[in-house]
Structure 1
Amino acid sequence: MAQQRLQLTWYNKDKALIPTETGRYGYTWVDPSDPRYCETHTLIYDDFVQGAQAPKSDEFEYSERADHEPQDDNLLILGESGDVLEALTRVPELAEKYVGKVKVIYIDPPFNTAQTFASYEDNLEHSIWLTMMRDRLLHLKKLLDDDGSIWVHLDDVEIHRMRILLDEIFGAVNFVSLLSWEKVAGRDNRSVMSKTCDFILVYAKSASSFKNMRNLLPRSAAKTASAYANPDDDPRGPWTSGDFTAQFNPAENPRYSQRYTLVTPKGRTFEPPSGSCWRYTKDRYEELLADNRVWFGEDGDNIPRLKRFLSEVQDGLVPKTLWSHVEVGHNDLGKKEIQSLFPEETPFSTPKPERLLERIIHIGSNPGDIILDVFAGSGTTAAAAQKMGRRWVTCELLESTFKTFTRPRLEKVINNQDSGGITRTKGERVDATVEGLPDGVSPDDAAKFTSVLNKLIADDPEAKLDPRVKALKAAAKTRRTKEVVNWRGGGGFQVAHLSPACFDYDPALDRVMLTPEATGEVLVASVAANLGFSLLHPDDGIVFDGRRGNSLLKVMEGVATIKEVDRLVEQIQPGETVVLAATVVLDGVREHMRRACKGSRVVAIPDDIFRYTQGGEL
């Protein structure tokens, strides 16, 4: 008996959705073979936007990231996410560039079922949402690199359904983590429960491959300084200490060799605490002792602790699943970032701060990698990716959002007109004392101490003049270094929009029809994409429109004749074949093509591209 997989089912799961109106949220159920769903749209390229990197200034410090080469192989698309993903995965020129090559996908679906689909019943709300996400996730999986990851950002409405859907598409074994992001700093006292977190589901194309490539988080210099010290002047440098005991459970893991009387260098003896054993055997303890890796306190007479040297720990921190607003910002910070760029506009209600995307992009990719977000909104993902030296692709459905926020924001980024977000970092707090801060006291600790002390003596003139208070302030004196610049502008991006639909279905006639836009270069590009041909550049002497291996494509608006077949066959080289796609095909032309060039064929537009009738019969 075949093993059964857990799957999520919903109303009309076997159906597909098409937009009811271009550039709007609203969808209609259709059969998956309906050309309005199946048609592959192409991209129509508009202008290319280029920026210049600003020179350095003595006013700032500059991070390593500020020296990254600005990327210009980026793509900003106006269009519906489903159609954009169809283009990226099916148009040969785009598929060659992006399929299996995207390192990080971040999506924050802008539609909330309670708002976008308010006119539908509950079963239709969730079914529409799940169908939309299912179709997009299938394409997104194709785009991921072997060690790539997808990060799906949701609130608590659909998170449980989405996890089962992701299990179904990516496989439960490729689940990486469920992250909780503290999206608000305050408390909503009007709520029964004040919602604090959004959630980000993380899946990988291959969990094992992702684990091998994922990047650790950088250590905070201030936290490191407070956590590590060197009270015994060990030549190996700063260290911290850890517990020298381990859990003792005779039923599961006896570890009797780790239960012994431990003798310190001063002759004091210790037995393992109740329910515990020593972390190491007696022989190993003596080796560590000889290597000065055991600490018995300042007086050398306390219970032992294991010394862990900063120089020997891994270069970074393993990410946790709880991301606080202190570390990566919150919605209010995201709003401020948008308002600083567009003071005259009203920002989205829940924009994401750049620091949140910075962490995601850092963990899952390296400079030069491709980042994808098919729900661009204000463009936070692309902005952060550009500032981090990554390449990116993003799209936005709503033209008003595209023109008001997405494109203008990214233009400001490359033109070095965006000093917010992750562009700059506050200078570090550093020691400014004469004698140096005591071991274990970081500059941030000292600054907080001074701040609290000033508040405590604010209304006490005598205390302010007290020599002891002055001495304490001098012993905790710090200063902040210059502001650090992480991004200096530069790079660029290609602006594009989706081609109009060329194929439609007429229920009254029960047949596929060409749309009024299906003419000229639009028709040629559409036919080539839907038949899997790469477009050829119209160089002098080339009569064909596309190529797929040894097969050449010619698209005709008009009648395919025997004379035209002979003309095309004369143009090909030995071993090549011809596909002639025409809007009208005369009797006998197909047979003549097969005889004139073995393996060649004639295609009628639209019937032989989408031979669809009601019910999906072909």
Structure 2
Amino acid sequence: MAAGYTGGLELTWTNKDKALLSTGDGRYDYTFVDRADYRVSEVRLLHEVERVEAQPREGRPDGLPEPTTENLLISGDAMHALDILNKVPEYAERYLGKVKLVYIDPPFNTGQAFANYDDNIEHSVWLTMLRDRLRQIKPLLSDDGSVWVHLDDAEVHRCRSVLDEELGAENFLAEVVWQKATSPRNDTTGFSVSHDSLLVYRKTNRWVPNRLKRLATSNTSRYRSRDGDPVPWRDGDATAGKAATNHPMVYGIQHPVTGGLMYPTPGRCWGKAQSWFLEQMNEYAKYELRDIGDEARRAIICGTTPERVKPGVPAIMLAQPLEDAARAARARHEAGNWPELVFLDLDKERIQRKKHLADEGRVPETLWFASDVGGSLRGKNQVRDLFPDLHAFATPKPEELLQRVIHIGSNPGDIVLDCYGGSGTTAAVAHKMGRRWVTVELLSATIATYTKPRLARVVRGEEPGGVTTSTERVADADLPADMTPDEAQEFNRLLNKVVKGVDLDREAIKALRDATKTRNQTTAIWHGGGGFSHYEIGPSMFESVGDIVVLAEWATQGDLAQAMCAQLGVRYRPDGIFAGRRGRVRYVILDGLVGHGTVEAILDQLPEKEIVEVWATQIDLDAEETLRKSRKGSRLTKIPEAVLDTYRRRAANTSPFNRRTQEPEAATHDRH
């Protein structure tokens, strides 16, 4: 059981104690290995392939997002890419604890990616892959960040358990249902699947979603200004929540005209502090707090008995004669621009709260229709329009779907991460929306064919589809009061049906059409700009010769020093004989034998009060003893044995069932 994770359910599966390794670069083919295996423990290097940038443009329209430039397209396994972002200092300082949104669309199960495994192992492969990636993703997330996992119904129930275990059940936010198909597949023998799921988790309770633009129908039909308030509003409930047995927010409010007492409906309580209600009621007449001994009435609302209800909760009562209060209340009502607490009819004992149109927009909901965010067909068509001569990409998501995810979970300038990049939809939309992004794709053919060309077009402003433009229905006439352009369009559609079978006056019909005329208005939200760097994950610094692990042929001299700095979590900054430093520790990486002469040369260059770690492919044990005695705390260790031993020690100290933070760790080394 994980530390700090007591009392929760835990999903187990075959080989859960193992790590998952891609057995061949550039394909979904996995095997289970020990967690100490260098192939999963090693921190690889990134090698830049190309920098893609747009030519500077003048006259950028106001209101469009500022193009971002610090973006990464990474070719290779997500396992290595996430390790690099976590542990290599020059990347960790940019991404560790700073990623606002992670969207992952991992390979779905049931034969789509893991067709060569039997059912039991197939699920184990998928779950281990997900678990390992979540453990690497979590430390990258900012405290107000979120993870969105997109999947079909094959693994959603098991995935939820893994997410609970790794991110905390208390951090579950929602299961969003996305309508990916709008018509059934009649060749299906069982049910035709119309949806995918997006499981949404936060890192901490600091996460706050961005709200969506209100629906056009909400803007006018539900919101009005019946009292002259400059901001349209609708009437809302003045009560909230659930009334506990001793709830202090259950009390009476005396009506200013009838004198009757108003209470929350049974099981509920007033929605704001009593001081706020008192202030609001004083807008209508003079009020005060007074204990009226109404425990029996309040007990009914709280669902308990009078002796158990909270005693001494005062009511909000009139502090002037009822006749004077009624006169003041009617005068205030006639004056207009009412307080936040309103009486729609002063003769009825019912109060409500104003809900203004400016109330932060529409809260995100969990049911997303294809008509709003597109379906699978739209996603395929968008990629097909970009690459008409290529075979259709298998499972592209519509840009509108990612636009909603990115809008809810991030702001311009924030970092968006997708470690299963596919055709590049997440990165493309993030770029158009002014976010910084990192996307990783395992298959080099996919990057060469789809991902990189698509992102290059986005940067150059040559990708006109998807969310590059925004289309909305606008009025082309003075519409009747309270009618939206969408409603006018629907009215015309129905009118055309009606007039086909009815003999109506043509002039009247024309007048109706002219009075409700609308048109589509398209606005560009992206014109190109910014840039990204394409990197490839480098090869392993090790190779196996039978049962022996040795250094790869390329890992020599400066390349070896850079690779070793990655393992040590030290920034590679050559300075004479030193490869890097952290605090008062200097690091020397040597491809060759270190004897007494080399140790003396190192000590001559080592500043006072500093220590040194020397890593070498060959060492003289007497020289090691000399170094330790000459500068206490210094050490001399052998490559690759000491590195491999560090991997084993880390694996032994970390239970595979524990949740891990994966913070960058300084290596500690035994004597060899």
TM category (shorter chain) comes to 0.7 to 0.9
Residue equivalent to 1:511: 548
CA contact under 8 A between 1:246 and 1:276: conserved in structure 2? no
Pair 1:234-2:228 in alignment: yes
Q: Secondary structure at the match of 1:152?
A: strand
Corresponding position: 1:153 with 2:158: no
Q: Is the 8 A contact 2:71 2:533 kept in 1?
A: yes
> 1: distance between equivalents of 2:615 and 2:267?
79
Gaps of 5+ in 2: 272-276, 286-328, 653-669
Question: Which amino acid in 1 is paired with 2:68?
Answer: Q
Q: Read off the aligned partner of 1:161 and give its amino acid letter.
A: R
Matched, 1:422 2:420: no
Mapped partners of 1:606, 1:94: distance in 2? 24
Contact kept, 8 Å, 1:109 with 1:153, in 2: the verdict is yes
TM-aligned CA deviation for residue 346 of structure 1: 2.2
Q: Does 1:467 find its partner at 2:507?
A: yes
Aligned to 1:493: 532
The match for 2:92 is: 95
In 1, are the aligned partners of 2:20 and 2:30 still within 8 Å (CA)? Answer: yes
Q: CA deviation at 1:246?
A: 9.3
1:183 alignment counterpart: 180
Q: State the match for 1:570 in structure 2.
A: 604
Q: What amino acid maps onto 1:239 in structure 2? A: W
Q: Does residue 6 in structure 1 map to residue 9 in structure 2?
A: yes
User: Contact 1:180/1:321 (CA < 8 Å) preserved in 2?
Assistant: yes
Q: TM-score, normalised by structure 2?
A: 0.80
Q: Is 1:524 aligned to residue 524 of structure 2?
A: no
Q: 2:570 aligns with which of 522, 533, 538?
A: 533
Contact 1:175 1:204 in 2 (8 A): yes
CA distance in 2, matches of 1:426, 1:455: 26
Q: Corresponding residue for 2:50?
A: 47
Matched, 1:354 2:399: yes
* 1:447 to 2:496 alignment: no
Maintained 8 Å contact 1:367/1:388:
yes
What residue in structure 2 maps to residue 394 of structure 1?
Answer: 439
Aligned to 2:121: 124
State the match for 2:214 in structure 1.
219
Alpha-carbon distance between aligned partners in 1 of 2:56 and 2:390, rounded to the nearest angstrom: 27
Percent identity reads: 40
Change (3 A) 1:63 1:570: same
Equivalent-residue separation in structure 1 for 2:97 and 2:32 (angstroms)? 30
- Contact 1:531-1:609 within 8 A present in 2 as well: no
User: What is the one-letter code of the residue matched to 1:16?
Assistant: A
- Corresponding pairs, count: 590
SS at match of 2:83: helix
| Corresponding residue of 1:34 | 37
Matched residue SS, 1:432: coil
Kindly provide the amino acid, as one letter, of the partner of residue 569 in structure 1.
L
Secondary structure of 2:68's counterpart equals coil
How many Å separate the matches in 1 of 2:515 and 2:603? 90
Q: 2:620 is matched by which residue type in structure 1?
A: L
Distance 1:309-1:259 versus aligned 2 partners, 3 A rule: closer
Q: Deviations over 1:88-146 (max 9, x none)?
A: 11112212221111110110002424232222222111111111111111010011111
Measure the CA separation in 2 of the matches of 1:136 and 1:216.
29
1:508-530 Cα offsets, whole Å, 9 max, x none, are 4x432222332344322211111
Q: 1:515 to 1:470 in 2, by over 3 A?
A: same
Distance between the aligned counterparts of 1:591 and 1:132, measured in 2?
A: 44
Compared CA separation, residues 153 and 597, structure 1 to 2 (3 A):
same
**How far, CA to CA, are the matches of 1:504 and 1:585 in structure 2?**
21
* Aligned equivalent of 2:417: 372
What is the Cα deviation at residue 319 of structure 1?
A: 0.6
Q: For the aligned residues, what is the CA RMSD? A: 3.5
Deviation, structure 1 residue 174: 1.0
Measure, in 2, the Cα distance between the counterparts of 1:71 and 1:480: 30
Relative distance call for 1:250 and 1:409 in structure 2 (3 A) is closer
Task: Tell me, yes or no, if structure 1 residue 598 matches structure 2 residue 632.
Answer: yes
Q: Is the 8 A contact 1:246 1:277 kept in 2?
A: yes
Greater Cα shift, 358-367 or 345-354: 345-354
* Separation in structure 1 between the aligned mates of residue 212 and residue 139 of structure 2, nearest angstrom: 28
Distance 2:408 2:129 in 1: 28
Instruction: Give the aligned residue type for 1:345.
Output: L
1:163-312 aligned at under 5 Å gives the runs: 163-191=160-188, 192-206=190-204, 208-211=205-208, 214-221=209-216, 223-230=218-225, 232=226, 234-242=228-236, 290-291=332-333, 292=338, 293-296=342-345, 306=352, 308=354, 310-311=356-357
Unaligned runs of 5+ in 1: none
**3-state SS of paired residue (1:114):** coil
Shift of 1:43: 0.9
**Partners of 1:394 and 1:612 in 2: CA distance:** 30
Query: Do the aligned partners of 1:512 and 1:612 also contact (CA within 8 Å) in 2?
Result: no
* Matched residue type, 1:499: G
Partner SS for 1:563 = helix
Q: Aligned in 2, Cα 1:44/1:277: closer, same or farther, shift over 3 Å?
A: closer
Q: Tell me the alpha carbon deviations over residues 528-564 of structure 1, each in whole angstroms, 9 at most, x when there is no partner.
A: 111222100x5xx623222222222222222222222
In structure 2, the residue matched to 1:585 is 619
Equivalent position amino acid for 1:364 in 2 = G
C-alpha contact (below 8 Å) 1:245/1:272 kept by paired residues: no
Distance across 1 between alignment mates of 2:387 and 2:251: 68
* Aligned-partner SS, 2:463: coil
TM, length-normalised to structure 1: 0.86
Q: Secondary structure of 1:448's partner?
A: helix
Alpha-carbon distance in structure 1 between the residues aligned to 2:134 and 2:227: 56
